[in-house]
Amino acid sequence: MAKFLVKNAGPLHGEVTISGSKNSVLPIMAAALLSDDPCTILDVPALSDVEVMCDILESIGATIEKDYEAGKIVIDANHELRSETPAELGQRMRASILTMGPLLARDGRTRASLPGGCAIGARPIDLHLKGFEAMGAEIIFDEEAGTVTATTDGPLHGARIYLDYPSVGATENIMAAAVLAEGQTIMENVAQEPEIVDLANYLNKMGARVKGAGTDMIKIDGVKSLHGTEHNVIPDRIETGTFMVAAAITRGDVLVKNVVPDHVRPIIAKLIECGCQVEEAGDDLDELRVRGNIKELKGTDIKTLPYPGFPTDMQSQFMALLTTVHGSSTVIETVFENRYMHIGELNRMGAGIRTEDKSALIPGDVKLQGAQVVATDLRAGAALVLAGLAAEGETEIFEIRHIERGYAGLVEKLQGIGADIRRVD
Ligand code: EPZ
C-alpha cells in the first residue's frame, strides 16, 4: 500500500503551476451526455476521479479519447446510452450522481445507486430529486436495490425551483436537466461557486440558454438540442489555496501560477489576517505570490460557508496552518456535519485541538511532531501533508488514495518548490 513520507525541509521557495479544476471538470464531463456531437475538454487534470468519471461515461455507452499529457479529453455520446451506471462504479465516486440530470433530459430516464454518506457527512440528494420532480419527473426509490430512478414521459418542462440550501451538486444537476426542458426554469437560492459558472459557460457554448450563473438566481430557457463544443476548464481554486497555505505553513515565498485571484478571495483575506503577504502578479494577473516570512504569523477565526464565503474544502488545510501560528484560533464548519476527521490525526502530531459543538479550538504556538497518520478524506489528507512539511521529524501518511483523487502531480509539484516528500509503494 502506498504512503507519503514527509519531512520538514524548511521554507518553500519557487513557482508552482495549478492544474484544471476537479470540481469543474466532473460536472462538465457528465454534461457532454446532453449532445450527440463530440465535446472536447481541455486543461483536464490527471486525477483518479477523472478516470472514474471516464469509466462511468463509458459504462453508460459514451466513447472517450484521453490524452492526459495534453490535458485533453474528447467525449462522444452519439450512441445508444444506458440509463444507469453499474452500482460498483457509482459508489466509487459521489459525483457519479451528476450524470442523472443529463440522462434524464436526454432520454427521459436515469437510475443511480443511492450514494450513501461519506467520511464528511450524510450528503443526501433530496434537493437534486426535488428539482427533477418539479420539472415533471417521477421519482422512484428502490430501497432493496439501493437505487433511485427518475423518469418522464416526453420532455421535462420548465419550473420555478427554490433550493432549501445552495447545494453545488443540486444546482449543477438541475441546470444540466433544464437546458433541454420545454419552457423556462427559474432556480432560486442556488450555489454561486466558480464551478457553476464554468458549467454554465460550457452549456452555453453547446447552445444552451443559461443566465445568472454566479448569482443566487439562474434562469434557463430550454432548447430542442445541443451541439458539441470545446472548453478549457478553470484552474482548481482548492489546489491553489492548498499551495498558498503550503507557502505560509513553511514560512516560505512561493509564486502560484495559473490562478484566478477572484476565486480565492476568502483564502487571500485569511492569509493576510494571519500576517502573510499575498500579491497578485503576472502580466494577466493570473499569479499569486504568497510570503509567510514577512512577520510572525498569528491566529485568526474561520467559518466555512457556501461561496463566496470561506470554502469548506480549505478548512482542514487552514486548520493545519493555525496550529503553527502564535495565539489561538477558532474554526467553525457549517457546510458538512462531520468534517473534523483530520483533528484526531493532527493531534497525533501534537496540535492539541479541542472541539466544542461545531467549533474547533486551536491553541496555536505548538511545534508539530512527525507521526504516523491516516488520510480520512481528500482535504484532510492534504492538511496532513502540509502539517508534515512544518513538523519536526518524519511524517508517514497512509491511505493516500484519498489525496490522489484530487491533486494532480502533488509530490512532483511540492518537490519543485523545495519540499521533502516521497511517495513510497
Ligand atoms: C461539492 O460537493 C464538491 N464536490 C465538494 O468538494 C464541496 O465540499 C461541496 O460541493 C461544497 O462546496 C464536487 O464538486 C464534486 P453540496 P456537493 O451539494 O455537490 C447538503 C472536495 O473536497 N445537501 O453543495 O456534494 C449536503 O449534505 C469535495 O473536492 C443536502 O442536504 O456539495 C451538505 O451538507 C468534498 N441535500 C451541503 O448540502 C442535497 O440534495 C453541501 O453539499 C444536496 C446537498
- Contact residues for 421 (Cβ-Cβ < 8 A; gap 6+): 4, 5, 6, 7, 385, 388, 389, 411, 414, 415
Q: What is the mean pLDDT of each successive set of 10 residues along the chain, which is 425 residues long?
A: 96 98 98 98 97 96 97 96 90 93 97 78 91 98 92 96 98 98 98 98 98 98 98 98 98 98 98 98 95 97 98 98 98 94 98 96 97 97 98 98 97 98 95
Instruction: Return the number of other C-beta atoms located less than 10 Å from residue 85's C-beta.
Output: 25
**Which residue has the CA at smallest separation from atom 30 of ligand 1?**
124
pLDDT at res. 86:
86
Backbone angles phi, psi at 143, to 5 degrees: -55, -40
- Residue 335 CA to ligand 1 center (angstroms) comes to 8
Residue type, 150: A
- Residue 337 CA to ligand 1 center (angstroms) comes to 11
**Which residue has the CA at smallest separation from atom 34 of ligand 1?**
336
pLDDT at res. 118:
73
Instruction: Return the number of other C-beta atoms located less than 10 Å from residue 336's C-beta.
Output: 18
Place of cell 507519503: 4
Please tell me the number of Cα atoms within 13 Å of 158 on its side-chain side. 16
**Per-residue burial over 306-319, b = 16 or more CB atoms within 10 Å of its CB, e = otherwise:** bbeebbbbbbbbbb
pLDDT at res. 26:
98
Angle at alpha carbon of residue 115, lines to 124 and 382, rounded to 5°: 90
Handedness of CA 385, 25, 69, 78 (dihedral sign): positive
**Which residue has the CA at smallest separation from atom 28 of ligand 1?**
313
Distance CA 111, CA 303 (A): 36
Closest CA to 27 of 86, 78, 93: 93
**Which residue has the CA at smallest separation from atom 44 of ligand 1?**
167
State whether residue 84 is helix, strand or coil: strand
Q: What is the rounded radius of gyration, in angstroms, for the C-alpha atoms of the chain?
A: 22
118 is catalytic: yes
> Which of 28, 53, 92, 167 to probe ligand 1 with, by most ligand atoms within 8 A of CB?
167
> Which of 21, 96, 148, 165 to probe ligand 1 with, by most ligand atoms within 8 A of CB?
165
Distance CA 210, CA 222 (A): 9
Distance CA 417, CA 412 (A): 9
What's the gap between Cα 164 and its chain centre? 21
Residues within 6 Å of ligand 1 by CB: 22-23, 26, 94-95, 121-128, 165, 167-170, 191, 312-313, 335-336, 378-379, 406
pLDDT at res. 85:
87
- Residue 25 CA to ligand 1 center (angstroms) comes to 15
Distance CA 47, CA 17 (A): 16
Residue type, 338: N
Kindly give the number of the ligand 1 atom that is closest to the alpha carbon of 306: 12
**Which residue has the CA at smallest separation from atom 41 of ligand 1?**
167
**Burial grade of 87 (CB within 10 A; 0-12, 13-18, 19 or more):** middle
CA distances from 24 to 50, 78, 100, 235 (A): 11, 23, 17, 9
**Which residue has the CA at smallest separation from atom 39 of ligand 1?**
125
**Per-residue burial over 44-63, b = 16 or more CB atoms within 10 Å of its CB, e = otherwise:** bbebbbbebbbbbbebbebe
Distance CA 334, CA 82 (A): 37
- Residue 313 CA to ligand 1 center (angstroms) comes to 10
pLDDT at res. 89:
87
Distance CA 253, CA 273 (A): 17
- Residue 211 CA to ligand 1 center (angstroms) comes to 22
The catalytically annotated residue of 39, 118, 274, 276 is 118
- Contact residues for 80 (Cβ-Cβ < 8 A; gap 6+): 61
**Per-residue burial over 220-237, b = 16 or more CB atoms within 10 Å of its CB, e = otherwise:** bebeeebebbebebbbbb
**Burial grade of 209 (CB within 10 A; 0-12, 13-18, 19 or more):** middle
Closest CA to 400 of 371, 368, 424, 369: 424
Distance CA 18, CA 203 (A): 24
- Residue 378 CA to ligand 1 center (angstroms) comes to 13
